[in-house]
A and B are shown apart, each in its own frame.
Chain A
Amino acid sequence: MSDKDYIIIESGKAEQPFHYAVGMHGSKFFRELKDNRRFIGLKCPKCGKVFIPPRGVCGECFVEMNEWVEVGPNGVIGSFTILRYAFIDPETGQQKPIPYGYGFIKLDGADTLFQHYINIEDESKVKIGARVEAVFSKERKGSIRDIEYFRVVD
């Protein structure tokens, strides 16, 4: 028996189930998405920036935000990538089919970028600055997957 045979002992897989609170801002955001296919963000009373995804505090100004404003559903690509390597989907534990597009979308009326999938049917159209629209899922459950993807509009 070689030295190596003695030492290759592995512990096996480990799992840690966890439940995250969506919070009051997230709950309102996802309800609008599910019921009305609308994006809403929060506006800072001091600097006027509109944040999406919504959160309670503007970090720059250190003030609470309470004013909801509608943004999107159209916007422009801020940056993007096309994934060509097999990635394990954290939701299913299975490998995701490749390739697929992923991008930062600047929704009309928002000051921050929103992450989601980008449809890459025509790769040549997927560029920084290209205009996109949101395509919503038919069955919406109040999660980030209520948006299917964004697609480039001519």
Chain B
Amino acid sequence: MDKAAIIGVGMTSIEGNKVRDTFADMAWEAVNKALDDAGMNINDIDNVITTSNDFWDGRTISCMAVGDASGAAHKNVSCVEGDGTFGAFYGLTRALSGSYGTTLVTAHTKGSQSVSSLITNAAFDPIYERSLGMDMISACAMQANAYMNRTGITSEQLALVSVKNHGNAKKNPLSQMPLDITVNDVLKSEMISDPLHKLDCSPVSDACCAIIIANEERAAKHKGKPVWIKGVSFCSDAFFFGDRDLSRAPALEQAAKKAYAMAGIKNPMKEIDTAEVYDAFTYQELMWLEGLGLCADGESGRLLEKGEFAIDGRLPVNASGGLLSGHPVIAAGLIRIAEIVKQLRGEAGKYQTKNPKTGVAHGVNGLCGQSHCVWVLGKDK
């Protein structure tokens, strides 16, 4: 792959209900923060990708509603439906196409405006599945059961993910749910859908994130600290849930292998210094870490207990607080990328990890990890 870099990031705070903001208001804030961060103005942006989902936004062609506030006037603008990591992937290919030197990528969600379980219920097949009422939480509860049954990962280990990530969120001023909690607090919180307690689940959230991707030539003119895109890949699993072995994440394993190969990484357990993974539920952080090859299959719980994934651990995971501390669905993956950019620049403030050189950002589209997108980012070219 030709070289490309992320030269600007910007995001709103993550909140349970941004009642004062429309989608466009959030985009305006995030886009201007990204432009300021890059030391650019809108005329330096060659094309725009917005990322949204029509069901979540409750409108047809939801991407167009944020076009003006995203600086898309008179520019080539396109939209990706899904997680922000997938929007960024398309933005990257455009920057590499030779037609554009820079791409502005945005992703937004306001979970507060709808009934989340009805929106995620609508992701299921309308003939065979939807009327039975399954949604993201119940589907993920079944995945958690299947994963725990296969690996022996315990509820206490799941709870520890919640304790760690809500604790990390206390250091992140943009986070929605900083909490001082114990494993016991998690286990005693309301059982939502066995085996998931309330504190095993991420909250409903509103936020927008924007990043600016530049090809090598334009990145070279950039005065700040470009973060280089070393490898990126995405893969998908089957549509029908019943066709998948929900206790495993083969699509993630494939995407990670391809991204590492592109980045020239031979041993991800040793070469990745920090990671932001899609922890919509506690078990997912553990399951995805294994799928990403960042620890052996079934070992994540034990390593977590040893403190390896803490901010000062061997491999800090979700130092920002992760999605358990704020889960704006479509923006979620793009925020993972922006957080790794901050880490690699050494600008993560109180949750800065120790001198990372290479980081992984991970996004998910579809329920229970139907599609995974893996980004390997580096401080050095």
Query: What residues make up the interface of A, taking CB atoms closer than 8 Å to B?
Result: 7-8, 14, 18, 20, 22-23, 26, 51-53, 55, 59, 78-85, 87-91, 96, 102-104, 112-117, 128, 143-145
Binds A, one of B27-35, B43-51, B93-101, B186-194: B186-194
Q: With A22-B127, A87-B117, A88-B117 as given contacts, are A116 and B238 in contact (CB-CB < 8 Å)?
A: no
Return the contact of A115 from the options B20, B132, B143, B196 (Cβ within 8 A): B132
B65 / chain A contacts, CB cutoff of 8 Å: none
The answer for the CA separation of A18 and B137 in the assembled complex, in Å, is 25
Give the distance to chain B from A76, nearest Cβ to Cβ, in Å. Answer: 13
**Known A22-B127, A78-B146, A115-B129; 18 more pairs at CB < 8 Å:** A23-B127, A53-B127, A53-B128, A59-B243, A78-B242, A79-B247, A81-B193, A81-B196, A83-B193, A85-B190, A87-B117, A88-B115, A88-B117, A89-B133, A90-B121, A102-B134, A115-B242, A143-B131
CB atoms of B146 and A128 under 8 A apart: yes
CB atoms of B58 and A14 under 8 A apart: yes
A80 / chain B contacts, CB cutoff of 8 Å: 142, 145
The answer for the CA separation of A53 and B190 in the assembled complex, in Å, is 34
- Offer 17 A-B interface pairs, CB within 8 angstroms, sorted by A: A26-B127, A53-B240, A79-B142, A79-B143, A81-B138, A81-B196, A85-B190, A88-B117, A90-B122, A90-B130, A91-B133, A102-B138, A113-B243, A115-B128, A115-B242, A117-B132, A144-B128
CB atoms of B127 and A20 under 8 A apart: yes
0/1 interface trace, chain B 103-119, chain A, CB 8 Å (1 if under): 00000000000010110
Return the contact of B193 from the options A55, A82, A89 (Cβ within 8 A): A82
The answer for the CA separation of A85 and B141 in the assembled complex, in Å, is 12
Q: With A53-B125, A79-B246, A82-B193 as given contacts, are A87 and B133 in contact (CB-CB < 8 Å)?
A: yes
What is the count of residue pairs linking A and B with beta-carbon distances less than 8 angstroms? 109
Least CB separation from A149: chain B residue: B132
CB atoms of A91 and B131 under 8 A apart: yes
Query: What residues make up the interface of B, taking CB atoms closer than 8 Å to A?
Result: 19-20, 58, 115, 117-118, 121-122, 125-135, 137-138, 141-143, 145-146, 149, 190-196, 238-243, 246-247
A20 / chain B contacts, CB cutoff of 8 Å: 126-127
A144 / chain B contacts, CB cutoff of 8 Å: 127-129, 131-132
Give the distance to chain A from B309, nearest Cβ to Cβ, in Å. Answer: 26
The answer for the CA separation of A91 and B114 in the assembled complex, in Å, is 17
The answer for the CA separation of A18 and B129 in the assembled complex, in Å, is 16
A96 / chain B contacts, CB cutoff of 8 Å: 133
Least CB separation from A98: chain B residue: B193
CB atoms of B131 and A90 under 8 A apart: yes
CB atoms of A59 and B238 under 8 A apart: yes
The answer for the CA separation of A89 and B142 in the assembled complex, in Å, is 19
Return the contact of B137 from the options A8, A85, A116, A128 (Cβ within 8 A): A85
A84 / chain B contacts, CB cutoff of 8 Å: 190-194
Please give me the 5 A-B residue pairs with the lowest Cβ-Cβ distance, nearest first.
Answer: A113-B242, A81-B141, A79-B146, A53-B128, A79-B142
A103 / chain B contacts, CB cutoff of 8 Å: 142
A145 / chain B contacts, CB cutoff of 8 Å: 131
CB atoms of B242 and A79 under 8 A apart: no
The answer for the CA separation of A115 and B246 in the assembled complex, in Å, is 13
Least CB separation from A49: chain B residue: B243
CB atoms of B193 and A90 under 8 A apart: no
B146 / chain A contacts, CB cutoff of 8 Å: 78-79, 128
The answer for the CA separation of A82 and B20 in the assembled complex, in Å, is 37
Give the distance to chain B from A90, nearest Cβ to Cβ, in Å. Answer: 5
Interface centre among A7, A80, A90, A114 (most CB of B within 10 A): A90
Q: With A52-B242, A90-B130 as given contacts, are A128 and B118 in contact (CB-CB < 8 Å)?
A: no
The answer for the CA separation of A55 and B242 in the assembled complex, in Å, is 13
Give the distance to chain B from A144, nearest Cβ to Cβ, in Å. Answer: 6
Give the distance to chain A from B15, nearest Cβ to Cβ, in Å. Answer: 14
Least CB separation from B135: chain A residue: A87
Give the distance to chain A from B239, nearest Cβ to Cβ, in Å. Answer: 8
